[in-house]
Amino acid sequence: MNFSGVEILALVLLVGTAVMVVRLGNAVHAALALIANFLVVAGVYVALEARFVAMTQIIVYAGAIVVLCLFVIMLLSAAKANIGAEIMPALPWVGLVGAIGLAAVLIFAVTRFQPAGNVPALNGGLPQALGPLLYDPNRWLYALLVVGFLLLVATVAAVVLVEPERIIKATGHAAHPEGDGEPKPAKEKEVVKQ
């Protein structure tokens, strides 16, 4: 296994930005590092003959998903990452050991993979090559329709979750009939005494 300099550079960039995502103390900086990670991944996709997936990666992941996360971070003023008390002080070290173990197992698994001798050409992974697969009723067409319906349901669910008061007003159904979900331990103690 000998790797070119560009591949090593991409590996360092990908793992470095990934570590920044999980370690930076500012949530906005972590989200920006995630965008950098996704852009490098899109470059790797182009190198691996998956150009349509690379464009989708840039538009959907870097352009929509992370920007949505950034909106929520700034909306909630949740830029400070290390909030709350450290209730398990040893957790970072336990997590580090677990992550190293997981990485070792995964690398052991993927390096056992033997690539075939002569592989057919991928046509650059262009939409002309992917479209017939995606819209073939014997392959992926029904999965595509199900995913489209899933996206619709997810969008409706997001609206209902964020605006329950408007749903209550429109339908007359109380989304949370018992009021807020605060626990009431005093009442429970009385029941136990009786």
Partner 1 sequence: MIWLITSALMFAVGAYGALTRRTAILVFLSVELMLNASALALIAFSNLTGSLEPQVVVLFVIAIAAAEVAVGLGLIVAIFRRRETTSVDDLRQLRG
Positions 104 through 133 that interact with partner 1 (CB under 8 A)? 106-107, 109-111, 113, 115-116, 119-122, 125, 129-130, 133
Residue 59: CB minimum distance to partner 1, A: 9
Quick one: CA torsion of 175, 176, 178, 179, rounded to 10 degrees?
-120
Residues 6+ apart with CB under 8 A from 135: 141, 144
Q: How far is the CB of 170 from partner 1 (least distance, A)?
A: 17
Q: At CA 154, angle to CA 135 and CA 165, rounded to 5?
A: 155
Q: Which two tokens stand for residue 145?
A: 């329709």
Residues numbered 139 to 158 that lie near partner 1 (CB under 8 A) are: 139-140, 143-144, 147, 150-151, 153-155, 157-158
Tokens of 115: 């690539």
Q: Which amino acid is at 83?
A: I
Nearer residue to partner 1 within complex by CB, 75 or 194: 75
Question: What does the block give as tokens for 3?
Answer: 């790797």
Q: Binding string to partner 1 for residues 61 to 80, with x set by CB under 8 A, is what? A: x--xxx-xx--xx-xx-x--
Q: Which residues, 22 to 61, sit near partner 1 by CB under 8 A?
A: 22-23, 27, 30-31, 34, 37-38, 41, 44-45, 48-50, 52-53, 56-57, 60-61
The CA distances from residue 166 to 54, 134, 152, 173, 176, in Å, are 39, 38, 19, 10, 13
Which CB, 192 or 194, lies closer to partner 1? 192
Strand partners, 26: 80
Please report whether residue 162 would count as binding partner 1 according to CB under 8 A.
yes
Which parts of 175-194 interact with partner 1 (CB under 8 A)? 180-181, 183
129 by DSSP, 3-state: which? Answer: helix
Cβ proximity to partner 1, 153 vs 174, nearer residue: 153
Contact set for partner 1, span 1-20 (CB under 8 A): 1, 3, 7-8, 10-11, 14-15, 18-19
Question: How many other β-carbons are positioned within 10 Å of the β-carbon of residue 43?
Answer: 17
Nearer to partner 1, 2 or 194 (CB): 2
